[in-house]
Amino acid sequence: MIGDDDCLAELDANYTIGIAKPSVRQRLDQFASGHGAEPALLRHPNSSLESRVSLGPGCLIMAGVRIQADSVLGRHVFVNANAVIGHDAVIGDYASLSPLTTVCGGVVLEPRTFLGAGAVILPGVVVGADAVVGAGAVVTQDVAPGAVVVGVPARPVT
């Protein structure tokens, strides 16, 4: 810890943001990049990326992560320990994948989605922007933007 948000304007360094909450990560990124700082991509050496994977600036890829072919991750995506991202997945800017999450092939996570620990998103599902998927949930159908879903199968919290 080197100070509060204001110190970011004076740093002469590349940065990444290890905060899981997507909206906070987006705010800090906009502040730092607005002061001319460049995001760094950090990838643990014990992670595995197959061919044609695209990682956006500022991505943080933790130990044990596996990302399969033709997946695309946006700006400042945070993929926590032992998460799996299937082939042809599209992960939007500032999305957060907690430990042990599974995103199957062809899934789309729109910007600022948050997946709780152990959540599973089945093939072809779209999770809308700013949605939250609870820990251990199994998502079998599309999730509306801003929704909070929990359970097996996942259902919106009312």
Residue pLDDT, tens place only, 118-127: 999 999 999 9
pLDDT, the chain, mean: 93
Q: How far apart are CA 108 and CA 70, in angstroms?
A: 13
Quote the percentage of the chain above a pLDDT of 70.
92
Looking at residue 32, what is its pLDDT?
86
Check pLDDT > 60 for residue 1: no
Catalytic center residues: 87
pLDDT class of 33 with cuts at 50, 70, 90 = confident
- Count of CB atoms situated within 10 Å of the CB of 46: 12
Confidence of residue 9 (pLDDT cuts 50, 70, 90): low
Structure tokens of 9?
A: 């304007």
